[in-house]
Amino acid sequence: MAKNNSLSEFNFIAEILIEEWLKQDLGISRTKLKEFHFKKSWLSKLTKKKETLIFPLDLLNARLINPIFTGPEVRILYIDDALVTLSKPAGMHLFPLHYRETDTLLNFLRSQNFGRDILQVAPESHERGALYRLDRVTSGLMMFARTQIVYQKFRQNLEPQKYYLATVQGQVQTSSHQRHFLTGLSKGGAKVKCSQNASKESVEANIDILPLAFRADLNLSLIGIVLGEGHRHQIRVQMATLGYPIWGDVLYGGNAAERVFLHAWAYSFGARFFHDDTCPLFGKFFDLNSGLEMFRNHCGIGERR
C-alpha cells in the first residue's frame, strides 16, 4: 500500500487510514502505537495519493533488529545446523526495545548474518530464537535455535538442567537444597520478594547449592548452583534471603563490585550438555579450574554436546 523512499519517509500510492496502514501493513500493535503519543485525529486521517509522510524510525522498524552492533565482544562458543551458543557479557540485554538500540545480543546475531534463521524463529517474541532469558547483569551461556522446529522441540519437550556459578558474600559451608516462594516476578525491573511461606500470588522456587571455595581474606565464597525451571532474579533473591548476597548485586544487598558475580555456566537438555567456561573476572579471586572440576564431579556431568 505504501512505498518506502527512505528510512523515515513513506510515499503513499493509495488512500488509506494511517492507523489502518500501520496496523495491517506494518503489523504495529495498538500498544506500540501508544508509545509514540500520536493524536487520534492524525491516526484517523485518510492519506492522499502520492502524499509523503514522515514517521519515527523506531516505529517503521518496530519488528526489526538493527544490523549495527556496538556492544562489547561476544564469543560464539558452538554452532551447528540446529543451534548457536554464545557467551553473553555481563551488563548486556538479550533484545532491544527500539530499533535504534545497537548493543544487544540480537544486534550481534544480526551483524553476524543470522538474520535469516535465528531472527526468523518465533518472530512474535522479543527473544526470537533464544531458548531462555538471562538477567542483564548475568554473564554466561545463551542458546539460540536456528529453526522453528528446533525451537519448539527444546522449549516444549525438554526440561533443562541449569548450572550457575556465583561469588557470594560470607562463607557457605555445606551443600543444601533451598525452597522459597517468590512474588513480584512480573513487575519489570523491580525487586522480587522472597518468602519461606507460600501465598496465592507466589511461585515456588528451588535451588541446590554447592560450596566450591572460600577466600577468608575477602569473606567471599565461590558456589555452584543447580536449578530446573528458573524465574526472574531467582538466584539473586534466594541467596540474599539466605544471608549470602551475590557480590556486586547492590539491588539485593550485596556490596558494590566490578560486576554482579553471577554466571550461567552450563545447560543440559536431555543428553546434550553445553557450557561457557569464560566466567569473566571470577578467576581473579578463585582457582576456576579446580572449582569447575569439583562442580562437574558433583553433578556427574561431562564434555558432551
CATH number at residue 105: 3.30.2350.10
- Residue 276 placed within a domain: yes
Do 172 and 149 reside in the same domain of the chain?
no
Which residues lie below 8 Å from residue 273, measured CB to CB, with a gap of 6+? 266, 267, 301, 302, 303, 304, 305
Report whether pLDDT(7) > 80: no
Report whether pLDDT(32) > 60: yes
If you count them, how many residues does the chain have? 305
pLDDT interval class at 60 (50, 70, 90):
confident
- Which of 104, 122, 157 terminates a domain? The answer is 157
- Which of 13, 32, 60 terminates a domain? The answer is 60
- Which of 110, 137, 157 terminates a domain? The answer is 157
Give residue 110's pLDDT: 94
Do 256 and 165 reside in the same domain of the chain?
yes
> How many beta carbons lie within 10 A of that of residue 100, not counting itself?
12
Do 193 and 80 reside in the same domain of the chain?
no
In 3D space, the residue among 285, 195, 279, 210 whose CA is nearest the CA of residue 240 turns out to be 195
- Residue 47 placed within a domain: yes
- Alpha-carbon distance of 97 to 43, in angstroms, equals 23
Do 22 and 88 reside in the same domain of the chain?
no
- Residue 65 placed within a domain: no
- Residue 108 placed within a domain: yes
- Alpha-carbon distance of 85 to 10, in angstroms, equals 38
Do 109 and 228 reside in the same domain of the chain?
no
Give residue 3's pLDDT: 41
Cell readout for 228 is 530446573
Do 99 and 223 reside in the same domain of the chain?
no
- Residue 70 placed within a domain: no
Q: pLDDT over 90 for what percent of the chain?
A: 63
Which residues lie below 8 Å from residue 22, measured CB to CB, with a gap of 6+? 28, 33, 43, 59
Q: What's the structural domain count of the chain?
A: 3
Give residue 181's pLDDT: 95
pLDDT interval class at 4 (50, 70, 90):
very low
Report whether pLDDT(6) > 60: no
Give residue 302's pLDDT: 60
Which of 80-89, 115-124, 150-159, 223-232 is the most confident on average? 80-89
Which residues lie below 8 Å from residue 53, measured CB to CB, with a gap of 6+? 9, 10, 12, 18, 47
Do 92 and 213 reside in the same domain of the chain?
no
Do 173 and 273 reside in the same domain of the chain?
yes
Give residue 238's pLDDT: 97
- Residue 263 placed within a domain: yes
Structural domain range at position 127: 75-157
Do 226 and 122 reside in the same domain of the chain?
no
Do 33 and 7 reside in the same domain of the chain?
yes
- Alpha-carbon distance of 194 to 46, in angstroms, equals 53
pTM of the model as a whole: 0.84
- Residue 49 placed within a domain: yes
Question: How confident is the model over 82-141, as pLDDT tens digits?
Answer: 999 999 999 999 999 888 899 999 999 999 999 889 999 998 888 999 999 999 999 999
Mode of pairing for the β-strands spanning 272-275 and 176-183: unpaired
Do 295 and 208 reside in the same domain of the chain?
yes
Do 46 and 88 reside in the same domain of the chain?
no
